[in-house]
A = this chain, B = another copy of it.
Amino acid sequence: MHLIKGKEYPCHSSVTMALIGGKWKTVILFHLIEKPLRYNELRKGMQTVTERTLSLQLKTLQEDGIIKRKVFSKKPPLKVEYSLTEFGKTLIPLLTSIANWGDYVTTKFLK
């Protein structure tokens, strides 16, 4: 049993899932591997996500230190860029493994 930030986890794997689990987090992170992206670029890349959900997911990823938010202009129109932190970059091998297995599944097993 592991205790992190006041929450208990029954297994190392559940720690990971708490940080990158959910419907959208891996998708966001996967898009940010290649290069930093703006809010609207992420939205277009993900299509079916809503503004609110994307916004919330980005916020929790920031709070967990996985991505960082950089503001380039103070007056509208705003320019904001999201990118992986150094900590977030340690996830890259895992993210690619996750995507690769998903790819394997789509091609080999399910239709």
Binding site for B on A (CB under 8 A): 1-2, 4-5, 8-17, 19, 21-24, 26-27, 30, 46-49, 65, 87, 90-91, 93-95, 97-106, 109-111
**B10 and A27 contacting across the interface, CB-CB below 8 Å:** yes
**B17 and A26 contacting across the interface, CB-CB below 8 Å:** yes
Nearest residue in B to A5 (C-beta to C-beta)? B110
Whether A91 contacts B101 in the complex (CB less than 8 A), given A4-B106, A10-B47, comes out as yes
**A4 and B111 contacting across the interface, CB-CB below 8 Å:** yes
Whether A4 contacts B98 in the complex (CB less than 8 A), given A10-B48, A14-B26, A15-B105, comes out as no
Measured between beta carbons, the chain B residues less than 8 angstroms from A97 are 93-94, 97
Measured between beta carbons, the chain B residues less than 8 angstroms from A30 are 11, 13
**A22 and B21 contacting across the interface, CB-CB below 8 Å:** yes
Q: Which of B16, B47, B98 contacts A105 (CB 8 A)?
A: B16
**B110 and A12 contacting across the interface, CB-CB below 8 Å:** no
